[in-house]
Amino acid sequence: MEYPSEISRESASSEGGFSEREPRETRLEQTDVRVQETDEQTRGRAERMARFLQHKKVRSVWLMEPGATCAYADCLIFGDIEHDRHRDAVLEQLDAEFTRPGEPFRAEKGSHWTLVDFDSVVVHLFQHGGRALYRLEDLFPKAPLFILREDGQFEGVAPEHRPLPAPLEDLDHLDHEEGLRLPSPLRSPGT
């Protein structure tokens, strides 16, 4: 939307053309209507987001439904990204595709982990071994976990058969390069 300059506002107002416009923040507050979703609608939106991420070359996309054990979201999506430019491109496309009119796009970027908050759906994007470092899925050990396969279908995984996010051997560079110490796994690949 294009806004007229101060000069044209004054001249238009003095000529009776149009009145001064309200600041953008006020207009957004007036249009910020929270959409109440059913659990089924939230799950459908999360599945669309997960497939969208996979289409944008995000690897190892997992969808988790922590339910009442998570106070801040109904669905969590985990995925691995390649590098900062990949992350930034994915964030831009997520914003364009899934942010509702009047809603702010909320993304917090870090060196290993980026969080994107869509209210009832929260997306966690990891790079440089951050997924194995933080292991957020371990916060909800009994929550249903679904792995998005290459064919676009979700496969449910029982809690005792959850895979580790990445082999810990791939993370040796974290100990040496950045001085980070990896905690021991809360679960092993075979359990």
Task: Judge contact between 47 and 154, C-beta under 8 A.
Answer: yes
One-letter identity of residue 135: R
Encoded tokens for 137:
């899925």
d(CA 184, CA 181): 9
150 is a domain residue: yes
Which residues are registered as beta bridge partners of 62? 78, 147
82 is a domain residue: yes
20 is a domain residue: no
The confidence score (pLDDT) of residue 187 equals 52
DSSP state of 74: S
Encoded tokens for 59:
């690897």
Task: Judge contact between 2 and 20, C-beta under 8 A.
Answer: no
162 is a domain residue: yes
186 is a domain residue: no
Encoded tokens for 53:
């991420």
Alpha carbon 114 to chain centroid, angstroms: 7
Give buried/exposed letters for 116-145 (b at 16+ CB in 10 A, else e).
bebbbbbbbbbbbbbbbbbbbbeebeebeb
- Residue ranges in the chain whose pLDDT is less than 50: 1-32, 168-169, 171, 174-179, 182, 188-191
The confidence score (pLDDT) of residue 162 equals 84
pTM of this prediction?
A: 0.70
137 is a domain residue: yes
The confidence score (pLDDT) of residue 88 equals 95
21 is a domain residue: no
Condensed to tens digits (0 to 9), the pLDDT of residues 45-83 reads 999 999 999 999 999 999 999 988 999 999 999 999 999
Instruction: Please tell me the total count of domains within the chain.
Output: 1
The confidence score (pLDDT) of residue 33 equals 53
Torsion sign over Cα 65, 68, 73, 78: negative
| Residue-number span of the structural domain to which 116 is assigned | 39-177
Give the chain's length. 191
CATH number of domain containing 75: 3.30.460.10
Task: Judge contact between 137 and 162, C-beta under 8 A.
Answer: yes
22 is a domain residue: no
